[in-house]
Structure 1
Amino acid sequence: MPTRCGLTAPTTVRRVWHPVGRLPARVYWRRRIVVLVVLLALLGGLAWLGVALLSGRDGTGAAAADRTEPVPEPALARVVPSVTAVATPDPPPVAVTQAAPPEAPPEPLAGGPCTDDMITLEVRAPAEVPVGSKPTFELAVANVSAVPCVRALDKGLQEIVMLDAAGNRVWGSNDCFPEASSDARTLAPGEVVSIPLVWGGLTSEPTCTVPRGNPAPGPYVLRARLDTEVSPDAPITLVQL
């Protein structure tokens, strides 16, 4: 500020904060505020620039770390998929089933009927018989069970037939002289009942209308039947005397 003598007065802190001049005091206060805002903006800009520089340096390091080149995948891995990448289906569960044990046959009832499984049937005859003779054959019924049982041995249920080597029927015990009777027997375990049947030595057929005659010499078989039970074949030979 010029003085009245034309000299410049020395500048002091007091004169800066409390300037004295021809202008109003508010003008100088506005100037002070503007200078202070500019100073604060300058300081803020410098601080932001420092932070940006530090952040850029850290970011550059991180970016350099991120730009590390990846290890190239082997060519074989690009063609053949990894075993872990291939989904293999699980095998279907195998159903395990246990077979039920076979049921044991019921025990035979003591005193009940003799079933075919409880008896055996056999034809007993001589090995050789002369042509034209009248031999006696036996039908043997045996109880092979462990309990006594009842079996019908009626005459109408008994039969012995003769067959030739070709299986043709030659004679039957019930063809021409059928008999009827009622004979229910109680057979003890192991008991054998022999029933005799006489053959007249001639051929026959069920109607007994065909002329009868002596069968030719040769091998034959005898087969017995008791109702539904059939015996094994018994060989017999007719010989010419």
Structure 2
Amino acid sequence: MLEPTGPLPPEIYWRRRVFAIGILVLALALVIWLVVMVARGGTSPGGTAATSTTTESNAPAGGSGASAASSSAESDVAPCSDQSLAVKVSVGQPTYRRGEQPVFGIVITNISAAPCSRDMGSGMQQISVQTLDGTRRLWNSVDCYPDGQPDIRTLERGQQAAFTVTWSGSTSQPNCAGERVPVPSGAYAVLAQLGGVRSTAEPFNIG
């Protein structure tokens, strides 16, 4: 019974028997492993723990031609209070010629100890140009564009959302009332605000 018989050489039949025995041993080992894992409360092969991923995206803030980079919103993150945010404004260059369009940069930083989310759309941001001494307001980004698209961002601790806004160089009034005229040459300052959080004034010149 053990001696292989047939038209082929005996070593071929032995190889087939060894291969079949190996398959049976492997299948038996797999069954034993599965029984042990189930008894220990483990997971079956291929089981993975649930994970969540937050991606960052670049999206225009709308209104005054703003663009931004920041993180996507998560439904279980607390809203950012004014106290949890810092706002900084910068000017593209210290001096612009009359007729040029100044470019302002706005950076919103989560300075709290935990992630939070906030609508940072152009309708929520306010960028203002005023005289250098602060006595006269010349332009505000929401005067003529009060309704911007929502842009809810989730910021991790210390994370920033950056925006750019291009100003036409003309004056404006609330509700876009009155005539819009180019501002004269002189020294000015720009400020940025989100809710009750305001940046420090950043000076620049129009020559």
TM over 0.5: yes
1:180 aligns with 2:126: no
Q: TM-score, normalised by structure 1?
A: 0.50
The alpha-carbon deviation at position 138 of structure 1 amounts to 1.6
Aligned with 1:130 (options 97, 113, 125): 97
2:178 is paired with a residue of what secondary structure?
coil
Match of 1:46 in 2: none
Write out aligned runs for 1:200-239 (5 A): 200-239=168-207
Structure 2 residue runs without a partner (length 5+): 1-75
User: Per residue, is there more helix in 1 or in 2?
Assistant: 1
- Which of 1 and 2 has greater Rg? 1
User: Per residue, is there more strand in 1 or in 2?
Assistant: 2
The alpha-carbon deviation at position 178 of structure 1 amounts to 3.2
Q: What amino acid is aligned across from residue 156 of structure 1 in structure 2? A: G
- Alignment partners' CA distance in 2, 1:212 and 1:135: 16
- CA contact 2:132–2:203 (8 Å) conserved in 1: no
Match of 1:154 in 2: 121
Write out aligned runs for 1:36-55 (5 A): none
- CA contact 1:158–1:225 (8 Å) conserved in 2: yes
Q: What amino acid is aligned across from residue 224 of structure 1 in structure 2? A: A
The alpha-carbon deviation at position 177 of structure 1 amounts to 3.1
The alpha-carbon deviation at position 234 of structure 1 amounts to 1.0
1:198 aligns with 2:161: no
- Alignment partners' CA distance in 2, 1:182 and 1:172: 19
Q: What amino acid is aligned across from residue 80 of structure 2 in structure 1? A: C
Q: Percent identity?
A: 31
Match of 2:130 in 1: 163
The alpha-carbon deviation at position 209 of structure 1 amounts to 2.8
- CA contact 2:123–2:145 (8 Å) conserved in 1: no
- Alignment partners' CA distance in 1, 2:177 and 2:154: 38
Deviations 1:134-164 (A, max 9, x none): 1221221011122211122122111101111
- CA contact 2:110–2:157 (8 Å) conserved in 1: yes
The alpha-carbon deviation at position 180 of structure 1 amounts to 2.0
Paired residues, number: 130
Task: Return structure 1 stretches of 4+ with deviation > 6 angstroms.
Answer: none
Structure 1 residue runs without a partner (length 5+): 1-109
Aligned with 1:120 (options 70, 75, 86): 86
Q: CA RMSD in A?
A: 1.7
- Alignment partners' CA distance in 2, 1:231 and 1:188: 20
- CA contact 2:82–2:195 (8 Å) conserved in 1: no
- CA contact 1:132–1:202 (8 Å) conserved in 2: no
The alpha-carbon deviation at position 207 of structure 1 amounts to 3.0
2:174 is paired with a residue of what secondary structure?
coil
Q: What amino acid is aligned across from residue 149 of structure 1 in structure 2? A: C
